[in-house]
């Protein structure tokens, strides 16, 4: 009996065990089927339940553009617009308890923060969106900064994060802290959201500045939409330019003032550091519809004009290098006209009784004689005109160079070997800047080489590329040509360029002569639209370097179609050059004061504007000028200078009364007057010689005071 019972138990156990094994087998089979056979279907179903958008692009922040000394010139600033997702489950639960419990306090915070709606108006606005169950309901039309968004996220309800339904949409805006300063060189983008760049450094370095995008997807978590990052974007790199903001400002103001004065179509300036080739300022100003001058068009880089008389310098250097003319030779310019052939007559600016007659070679440059230069080059190369072109190119004139910008013009100097339309008159006209195209940057680069003892440097605009403070690439000065000519030719031509300015009788550049810095250069006045039947127009230019003894900067100024006055390279472009040179050297000289020789012909002790003592004392200490009766505590002083000393007397500044600002510069005068609540109007330049409200007069309200500067 017992044996029978044991057999029955074993049988029942076997059946149960068999059922369990089959069950486990079915489970394992199902697992394998799900993991391997049905895997794609289940993943797709999971994604469809979890993801709202499978992929969303994450835009990187565009890199910044800086000046040479680290000042921000272009930057990406994010802004945000606020929306609500009123279908967020947490807002719909329990009859909208979470929403209505926070409604009043949220409306109050929004009203106080943005001041665009009252508290009750915000309350009605939010209820309307809630009732309409909007997915993307605009809270307002206010554009928020990142700091403002952080504040908003601490408001009632919003501090709950994704449960609140708050959506912030990011937009990118490119800003330029210095406004239009160097706007063409810096460049621009196509709209706020576009990655595309239009021109300038923004375009040339777009791939570096842009960075690379990341991506993310939206998932439903706890009933809310959450953005999950799959790959973070890599922000764009920053570029540091060679531009100097102060020098750019100096150059732009000097040029703009002259363009207004002579009512010209356009003008430009390029300022280069002699030893390195770094571009410190690049100005492109064009007259626009409202009559103002703005950076509205690129002029410097795509320019491909006939240079006019600035080309006389390399022309004469070629003849000197080839030994076909000597500085002591005499050229007969007669009455300032030369009938080259039946069709071509070459003229000087002083034809007739004022003609140059017989003059030495150096005077051809000093007086800028077209006839003299045409005769020198024609007589030297008439039997082999290709040699003239070959020598120019051998010296580096028009030498190809990569400026880093797409669309930059290149020089065109063609002789009989590569010009099927060559005529003998082309040789004569090339001598003084016609029948040749020379971009402004090429002319400046050659003149810079003259200033740099014959070494030609590659002009460049960018110093380094970095990301998050880590250096990626650094650009160093590059030598294009170690010597453009012999030392003898270089010494001869530099002396002539100096006399263009300092020959008070014949020099075409005498308006460029400065009391403060010696300048060497060459004037250029050229015709364009000179074909028969076209209105004759002119362009004026000046290219040179300073200071003559130890050149630090080279510069070219170009002005097109002046309508007021006679077109003059010296009187128009040259005076702009002079102002730039004086102001740059006063504030940005690369040499210590001790390196400059003392000019015994000038008063040793300078005249000083009245104003803040500490500012003046810094300059005087650097110049090693002692000041008598130095104050223990005097902020504002009048300075007195005689032949042997500098002294001062204190200015009494009384509250709520008009201060005496006579003798001050505009910076100090504005500070004192505006500190007392006065509105200031200014006329003239220099120091204050008259103020419309007498010093010591009590101030009542916001009065207007006019200052006359001289």
pLDDT in tens, 332-343: 988 889 888 877
470-494 confidence digits (pLDDT tens): 899 999 999 999 999 999 999 999 9
User: If we measure between CA atoms, which residue out of 467, 71, 10 comes closest to residue 241?
Assistant: 71
User: By mean pLDDT, which of 140-149, 299-308, 501-510, 648-657 is the weakest?
Assistant: 648-657
Mean pLDDT computed over every residue of the chain: 85
- Residue scoring higher pLDDT (453 or 162): 453
Domain 611-709 has CATH 3.20.20.70: no
In this prediction, residue 517 carries a pLDDT of: 94
User: Given a cut of 60, is residue 176 above it in pLDDT?
Assistant: yes
Quick one: average pLDDT of 157-162? 86
Sequence ranges of the domains in the chain: 56-240, 248-570, 611-709
* Torsion-angle region of 174 (φ positive above 0: left; ψ -120 to 50: alpha; else: beta): beta
CA dist 277 → 210, 307, 479 (Å): 27, 21, 9
Quick one: average pLDDT of 183-195? 73
Residue 471, C-beta contacts closer than 8 angstroms, at least 6 positions apart: 464, 465
In this prediction, residue 225 carries a pLDDT of: 62
Domain 248-570 has CATH 3.40.1390.30: no
What is 527-547 written as a DSSP string? EES-STTSPPEEEEEEEEEE-
Q: What is the pTM of this model?
A: 0.73
User: By mean pLDDT, which of 315-324, 392-401, 498-507, 688-697 is the weakest?
Assistant: 688-697
Residue 590: CA count within 13 A, CB half-sphere = 14
In this prediction, residue 602 carries a pLDDT of: 47
User: If we measure between CA atoms, which residue out of 148, 143, 153, 144 comes closest to residue 106?
Assistant: 153
55-78 confidence digits (pLDDT tens): 667 778 888 999 998 898 888 888
27-47 confidence digits (pLDDT tens): 777 777 777 667 677 666 565
612-651 confidence digits (pLDDT tens): 777 777 767 666 676 666 555 567 777 777 766 777 777 7
In this prediction, residue 452 carries a pLDDT of: 97
Q: What is the distance between the alpha carbons of residues 374 and 352, in angstroms, rounded to a whole number?
A: 18
In this prediction, residue 265 carries a pLDDT of: 93
Computed from CA positions of residues 2, 5, 11, 13, in that sequence, does the dihedral angle turn out positive or negative?
A: negative
Domain 56-240 has CATH 3.40.50.720: no
Computed from CA positions of residues 577, 583, 585, 588, in that sequence, does the dihedral angle turn out positive or negative?
A: negative
165-175 confidence digits (pLDDT tens): 888 887 777 88
In this prediction, residue 695 carries a pLDDT of: 84
7-30 confidence digits (pLDDT tens): 667 777 777 777 887 877 777 777
């Amino acid at each position: 009996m017992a044996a029978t019972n044991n057999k029955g138990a074993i049988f029942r156990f076997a059946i149960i065990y068999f059922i369990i094994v089959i069950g486990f087998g079915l489970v394992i089979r199902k697992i394998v089927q799900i993991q391997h056979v049905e895997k794609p279907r289940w993943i797709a179903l999971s994604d469809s339940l979890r993801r709202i958008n499978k992929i969303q692009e994450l835009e990187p922040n565009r890199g910044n553009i800086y000046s040479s000394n680290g000042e921000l010139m272009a930057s990406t600033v994010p802004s945000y617009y606020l929306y609500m997702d009123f279908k967020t489950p947490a807002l719909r639960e329990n009859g909208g308890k979470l929403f209505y419990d926070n409604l009043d306090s949220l409306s109050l915070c929004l009203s106080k923060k943005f001041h665009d709606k009252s508290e009750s108006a915000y309350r009605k606005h939010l209820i309307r969106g809630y009732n309409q169950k909007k997915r993307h309901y605009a809270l307002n039309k206010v554009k928020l900064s990142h700091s403002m968004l952080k504040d908003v996220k601490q408001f009632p309800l919003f501090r709950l994060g994704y449960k609140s339904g708050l959506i912030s949409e990011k937009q990118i805006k490119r800003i330029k802290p210095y406004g239009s300063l160097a706007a063409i060189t810096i460049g621009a983008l196509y709209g706020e959201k576009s990655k595309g760049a239009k021109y300038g450094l923004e375009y040339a370095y777009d791939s570096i500045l842009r960075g690379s995008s990341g991506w993310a997807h939206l998932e439903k978590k706890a009933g809310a939409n959450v953005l999950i990052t799959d790959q973070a974007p890599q922000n764009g790199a920053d570029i540091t330019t060679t531009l100097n903001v102060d020098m750019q400002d100096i150059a732009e103001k000097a040029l703009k003032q002259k363009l207004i004065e002579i009512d010209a179509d356009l003008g430009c300036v390029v300022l280069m550091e002699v030893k390195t080739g770094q571009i410190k300022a690049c100005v492109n100003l064009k007259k626009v519809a409202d009559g103002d001058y703005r950076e509205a068009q690129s002029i410097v880089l795509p320019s491909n004009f006939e240079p006019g008389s600035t080309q006389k310098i390399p022309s004469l250097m070629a003849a000197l290098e080839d030994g076909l003319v000597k500085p002591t030779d005499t050229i007969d310019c007669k009455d300032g006209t030369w009938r080259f052939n039946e069709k071509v007559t070459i003229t000087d600016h002083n034809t007739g009784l004022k003609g140059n007659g017989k003059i030495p070679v150096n005077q051809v440059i000093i007086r800028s004689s077209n006839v003299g230069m045409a005769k020198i080059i024609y007589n030297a190369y008439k039997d082999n005109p290709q040699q003239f072109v070959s020598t120019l190119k051998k010296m580096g004139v028009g030498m190809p160079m990569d400026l880093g910008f797409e669309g930059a013009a290149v020089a065109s100097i063609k002789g009989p070997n590569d010009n099927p339309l060559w005529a003998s008159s082309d040789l004569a006209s090339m001598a003084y800047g016609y029948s040749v195209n020379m971009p402004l940057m090429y002319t400046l680069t050659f003149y810079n080489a003259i200033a740099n003892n014959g070494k030609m440097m590659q002009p460049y605009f960018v110093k380094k590329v970095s990301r998050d403070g880590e250096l990626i690439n650094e650009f160093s000065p590059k030598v294009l040509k170690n010597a453009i000519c012999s030392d003898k030719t270089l010494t001869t031509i530099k002396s002539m360029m100096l006399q263009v300015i300092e020959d008070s009788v014949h020099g075409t550049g005498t308006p460029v002569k400065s009391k403060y810095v010696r300048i060497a250069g060459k004037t250029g006045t050229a015709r364009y639209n000179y074909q028969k039947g076209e209105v004759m127009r002119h362009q004026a230019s000046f290219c040179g370097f300073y200071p003559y003894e130890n050149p630090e900067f080279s510069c070219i100024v170009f002005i097109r179609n002046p309508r007021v006055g006679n077109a003059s390279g010296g009187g128009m472009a040259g005076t702009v050059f002079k102002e730039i040179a004086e102001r740059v050297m006063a504030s940005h000289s690369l040499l210590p004061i001790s390196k400059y020789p003392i000019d015994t012909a000038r008063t040793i002790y300078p005249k000083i504007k009245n104003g803040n003592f500490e500012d003046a004392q810094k300059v005087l200490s650097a110049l090693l000028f002692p000041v008598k009766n130095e104050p223990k505590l005097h902020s504002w002083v009048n300075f007195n200078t005689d032949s042997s000393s500098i002294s001062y007397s204190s200015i009494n500044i009384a509250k709520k009364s008009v201060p005496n600002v006579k003798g001050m510069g505009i910076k100090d005068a504005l500070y004192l007057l505006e500190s007392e609540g006065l509105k200031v109007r200014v006329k003239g330049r220099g120091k204050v010689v008259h103020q419309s409200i007498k010093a010591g007069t009590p101030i009542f309200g916001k009065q207007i005071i006019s200052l006359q500067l001289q």
